[in-house]
Structure 1
Amino acid sequence: MMDYKIEQLESVLLFKIDRPEKRNAINYEVMDGLKEALEQARTNDEIKVLVITGAGTQSFCSGGDLQAFHGLKSQSEAYEMLSKMGGILYDLSTLPKITVALINGTAIGGGCEIAAACDFRIARPNSKLGFIQGNLAITTGWGGGTLLYERLVPSQALLLLTTAGLYKTEELHDKGFIDHIVPGHTFNDVTNLLEPILLKNVHVLVAYKQILIEKWKRGDLQERIRLEILACSKLWEKPEHHEAVEGFLNSSSRKNTKS
């Protein structure tokens, strides 16, 4: 079985990270799947909206798979992985279709970066979200920090990044990061909420999205994301990061053993 699913439901393309046993963490296969979904959404005029979500009811996405990527030790190794996903998130943010993160559970680290790359974020109540990378002695490395500064008032974005804390859905709704809170988290909840958009002509939607894309291109979004990735890769190879990851993995292992 693949670690992701892509399904077209009328004018919506649904991409689902299908690794609930890994809290829907990102690995290379999921990266390739997301890239495939972006290409489908880009080239199919029937598609008006791309929705990204996670399998199950516990996690939207827990970020990069630490077990899969912990073997990357040097800056060059880290940069290769980070730039691969960073390029995908740049393509996601500049996709000429409407994009939605359906946050069906916990979203941490890279999961929040994916959410920041989407046009809209819809979450269920009491979910926990956070740009926790600072707790692992690195920064956002997929472009999520750069994109967060585009989504929020800079002081609010800086607060979320530097505290590296976990926030409830309601708190991030107040800060402007979460656009809508829905009691359910099903596909129907999203389509009902987005119905006014889905009723519009696809070329109208593309034209409006293109205005935003042009703004970002003139503001060197791609280059700013590259510099973010480079900064993260430099921190990645430092012993502080690898020690923090080891501590996190050991802690998670002890919790799993007790349960």
Structure 2
Amino acid sequence: MDFQMKRLHNGILEFKITRPEKRNAVNFEVMEGLSQAIERAKETDIRALVVTGEGEQAFCSGGDLSVFHALRTEGEAYRMLSKMGKILHELTILPKPTIALINGTAVGGGCEIATACDFRIAKAGAKMGFIQGSLAITTGWGGGTLLFERIASYHALKLLSEAAIYRAEQLAHTGFVHRVVDRINEEVVERFLQNELTIHSSVLSAYKQIQIRKWASSDLWEKMDQEIKQCAILWEAEAHHEAVASFLNKK
């Protein structure tokens, strides 16, 4: 199985991508697993959801190009992109605290997953970047729209437009990374949430609902879907397929 889901003590649910040999890249099985984790996290015994990756090298390297490069047309791309986009929208509006525990490199779609979470804790030195532009596409799972919701717009535009790689420490000042730690483990999460874990879960959900209502009134999903549609158009272009082929040949 390409993912693992387990309930830790204190009511924390951990979802882990377990494809270290693929740098924890997302395939359709991982998508389904994340969707299951979100549904499980809605249950009353869960207080928070943590998303992470297996190993010390990668949190998530984005979509598995060896799988998704077979998608050639705008329609094929949109079906895949919108599937993951809807999952990330559900993750975003989950009425529980969510944490991306960034244990290693998070690039492309990996950064989009992290952006969908409320908080991001990163291992010192972890490399991160919205590198989609280097593949002649935009963020395709709605992560660009979410980034503008999470941090100041000038930081968001810079991170997206540059398609560059940064270290966790560099992203802390933008508000994208909330805490940089030397070692990633569940104790890090418990320390980060130590005050929240003393508060009744219904209170935490009520506060999250304030933010969810704001997003609902501003048509968050519609904005994400427009982003996804634009990416699908770019996906079909030859420039994207050539860029992906060049990237896969280098590997």
Which TM-score bucket, shorter chain as reference?
A: over 0.9
Q: Which amino acid aligns with 2:120?
A: R
Q: Distance in 2 between matches of 1:189 and 1:88?
A: 26
Q: Distance in 2 between matches of 1:70 and 1:243?
A: 10
Q: Tell me the SS of whatever aligns to 2:211.
A: helix
Map 1:82-121; keep pairs closer than 5 Å.
82-121=81-120
Map 1:217-232; keep pairs closer than 5 Å.
217-232=216-231
Q: How many residues align?
A: 250
Q: Which residue of 2 aligns with 1:156?
A: 155
C-alpha offsets along residues 188-210 of structure 1, whole Å, 9 cap, x if unaligned?
11112211111110100000000
1:141 paired with 2:143, answer no
Displacement of 1:4 in angstroms is 0.1
Q: Distance in 2 between matches of 1:236 and 1:222?
A: 20
Q: Which residue of 2 aligns with 1:256?
A: none
TM-score, normalised to structure 2, is 0.99
Displacement of 1:62 in angstroms is 0.1
Displacement of 1:25 in angstroms is 0.1
TM-score, normalised to structure 1, is 0.96
C-alpha offsets along residues 169-202 of structure 1, whole Å, 9 cap, x if unaligned?
0110011100011111011111122111111101
Q: Distance in 2 between matches of 1:175 and 1:98?
A: 20
Q: Which residue of 2 aligns with 1:234?
A: 233
Q: Is the 8 A contact 1:128 1:166 kept in 2?
A: yes
Q: Which residue of 2 aligns with 1:30?
A: 30
Q: Distance in 2 between matches of 1:82 and 1:208?
A: 30
Displacement of 1:230 in angstroms is 0.2
Q: Distance in 1 between matches of 2:110 and 2:217?
A: 27
Q: Is the 8 A contact 1:46 1:202 kept in 2?
A: no
Q: Which amino acid aligns with 1:82?
A: L
Q: Which residue of 2 aligns with 1:255?
A: none
Q: Which residue of 2 aligns with 1:39?
A: 39
Q: Tell me the SS of whatever aligns to 2:35.
A: helix
Q: Is the 8 A contact 1:62 1:110 kept in 2?
A: yes
Q: Which amino acid aligns with 1:28?
A: F
Q: Tell me the SS of whatever aligns to 1:195.
A: coil
Q: Is the 8 A contact 1:24 1:54 kept in 2?
A: yes
Q: Which residue of 2 aligns with 1:257?
A: none
**Mind listing any 5+ residue stretches in structure 2 that lack a counterpart?**
none
Q: Which amino acid aligns with 1:36?
A: Q
Displacement of 1:35 in angstroms is 0.3
Displacement of 1:240 in angstroms is 0.2
Q: Which residue of 2 aligns with 1:52?
A: 51
